[in-house]
Structure 1
Amino acid sequence: MAIRVIYVNFLAGLKQIPKNLYEASLIDGASSWQNFTKITLPMLSPVIFFNLVLQLINSFREFNSAYIVTQGGPMNPTLLYVLYVYNNAFSYSQMGYSCALAWILVIIIAIFSVFIFKSQTKWVYYEDR
């Protein structure tokens, strides 16, 4: 499901790139690689930024596959952090510890998100700026 959302976001971003930019670069004699690096990639950078933030949050929320397939597996090779929080809460009835782990997860996601938002001024292109 998440992959389809990424595809739809990228397709919508590609549709928003004005055709006259490509026409002007064709007149100037730009190659396909120059079109990609100088027009397509900068114009898609807000979409890349949006998808990066969403996928960062979704990656920390990954739970279903590890729980359904192995439930952490023997000797815990597939024990993800969210599965560890779940096991502490509902298997071992340690709600307080599980709540503290969940807050740590929120703080970790916030730190990564702040880092991405601070770095966006260096690599995300907005037309109105």
Structure 2
Amino acid sequence: MPRTTKAEAPVSLDEEVIEGRYVELGGYTVGFETHKADLDPAPLFKGLPDDRCQCPHWGVVVSGKVIFRYAGHDEVYQQGDVYYGAPGHVPLIFDGTELIEFSPTDALNATMAVVGANMEAR
């Protein structure tokens, strides 16, 4: 049975605002994210349909808070919450937030290609 832990997952992203550790398990990517600052990443989704993340995510808020903003409403998730983030969201993330998130790898990679290009253009 495939498995991983945060300690075993390699650091794939270590920026000023986020540390991300990611492992692919059976067509899904498990992400262990530690957010080091408040972040509104909305500009990074420019170019995706409706300029919003189109990848679904299932996750657990280990600490802190995350808000998923949709066209007509916001969903707030706090420490201890298990969540589903449907396609069409833009996250708002807060300093000290730790998430464990599960995302379909293909959809995540397509989204991250756009996010990465937007990061490089900044």
TM range, smaller chain? under 0.3
**Structure richer in strand, relative to its length:** 2
Tell me which of the two structures has the higher relative contact order, counting C-alpha pairs closer than 8 angstroms and 6 or more residues apart. Answer: 2
Structure having the higher Rg: 1
Q: Given the two structures, how large is their TM-score scaled by the length of structure 2?
A: 0.23
- Larger helix proportion, structure 1 or 2? 1
